[in-house]
Amino acid sequence: GWKDAISTTIINFNNEKMQITWAARELFPSKNVSFSYTFAEGKNKVWKPCPTYLLDQDYNSGCLFKTEGPTLAISIRNSNGSEELFSKTLKSDFYIKPNRPENVTFFWKADTVTVSCNKPERAVKCLTLELQYKSKFDKDWQSRTSKCCSVGEQGFDPRKCYSFRVRLKRLVPYCNVVNYSSDWAAETFWMNGTLLDSCDDDIKSHSKTVTVLSCLLAVLLVMLILLILLCKWQRLRKSVMPAIPDPKYVFADLFNDHNGNFQEWIDKTDHAMVQTKLEYEEPECIIEAESQQEDEKNCDKQEPQEKIFSFSRAAENNDPKAAQIACLMPTSNTIASFAGFQILMNDDMYVML
């Protein structure tokens, strides 16, 4: 009875190859064993030696051979084959492990994903297709199983990146006595129907977007700060260094029409100045040679912004132009400033400096 109690692992790879393994060091310590098998039935069995041994620290721990039929008999003996240590007869079809799915395709429609693969050549009714998926926000895989060879699932968020993997499974206990599944097909990464190299690409794209937006905000903030500083600097500069008025803009006709010729401008504008004084009813500046004090009193009757004075020589010569200029100029007997110009009076000549 102890021969039947020996634990073995039996795998039939897609009904093509058989693999029988045992715990060599635990079951047969310090002893090497031999393995033989047969797919024949009846009394006239032809035993075949193991073509390929599996080793565990130089001890035979398993055998790999070709699947040749549904019924298998195995025998484990001592190294020279004289003593049988273990024997067993089994149905090889109940230990099938299917191959991984081939030509896996994904079909996206709205929030529904349908995964399909090629149908195996045989035993399709004993197979199911299992789909597992998870997003970067999920810790565990979500599973969905359907008949071979198509499975669908709903509720996928197009804004998330998902990892997908599929495999084939044998039905238990109708087809297998052991719950064997195929190896997983290659894991793929999808987002809204687009195949990605990995879900890290989605994370990188979001991080790049955040980086670009942060840089733009930083640039806008720096520009705003510079604009505020510039406005404050302009105010400070105006308060410390006030702008000096340019006479070119105050007396535009002097420079535009007369090219800066003061004498010509005075001659042309003499009549206009008299009319302007009449329109505003400004008192005339009366020049008398008898007293300079009376001239100043008469000139003081004008608007407070105009300071009137007279030149003694101009009064003596009865020069009306000089008198009009004298009424508009600041006080000085010989040198006066007029709209940013200095005027020197000498006898009957007045010169603009």
Share of the chain above pLDDT 90, in %: 34
Kindly indicate the confidence band of residue 267, based on its pLDDT and cuts at 50, 70 and 90: confident
User: Comparing 293 with 221, which gets the higher pLDDT?
Assistant: 221
d(CA 11, CA 4): 18
Share of the chain above pLDDT 70, in %: 66
d(CA 175, CA 342): 120
How far is residue 308 from each of residues 23, 48, 126, 286, 321, measured CA to CA in Å? 129, 140, 122, 10, 14
Give yes or no on whether 6-95 and 103-194 have one common fold: yes
Of 90-99, 250-259, 264-273, 326-335, where does the model show the most confidence?
A: 90-99
C-alpha distance across the termini of the chain, in Å: 137
At residue 35, does pLDDT exceed 60? Answer: yes
**What residues contact residue 151 under an 8 Å CB cut-off, 6+ apart?**
114, 115, 116, 129, 130, 131, 144, 145, 166
Task: Tell me which of 3.60.20.30, 3.10.450.50, 3.40.50.300, 2.60.40.10 is the CATH number of domain 103-194.
Answer: 2.60.40.10
Query: For position 70, what pLDDT does the model report?
Result: 92
d(CA 10, CA 207): 50
At residue 33, does pLDDT exceed 60? Answer: yes
Q: What is the mean pLDDT of residues 233-243?
A: 71
Choice among 52-66, 226-240, 305-319 with the minimum mean pLDDT: 305-319
Q: What is the mean pLDDT of residues 328-337?
A: 44
Q: What integer best gives the mean pLDDT of the chain?
A: 76
At residue 60, does pLDDT exceed 50? Answer: yes
3-state secondary structure of 103: coil
Q: Is the CATH code 2.40.70.10 the one for domain 6-95? A: no
At residue 117, does pLDDT exceed 90? Answer: yes
Domain ranges of the chain: 6-95, 103-194
- pTM for the whole structure: 0.55
